[in-house]
Amino acid sequence: MSKLNLTPEEEAKVLEILERYLPELQNETVHTDNKELRKFFKERQAFMEELMRRLKS
């Protein structure tokens, strides 16, 4: 597995992007009728939340 090294400034920018996009993704998840797409959105949301948690620690 490769490792990505970010500066603190880069980490902050990535975190900001994730925090801004997450509410949009949650909104899309709620409003989709397609079960497969909803599952995909929920998996992506879980990934983003875990990444955000790791960036904050």
Task: Give the model confidence (pLDDT) of 28-48 as tens digits.
Answer: 999 999 999 999 999 999 999
pTM: 0.84
> Across all residues in the chain, what is the average pLDDT?
96
Q: Kindly tell me if the per-residue pLDDT of 1 is higher than 90.
A: no
Q: Which amino acid is at 27?
A: N
Q: Kindly tell me if the per-residue pLDDT of 2 is higher than 90.
A: no
Burial class (CB in 10 A: 0-12, 13-18, 19+), 26: middle
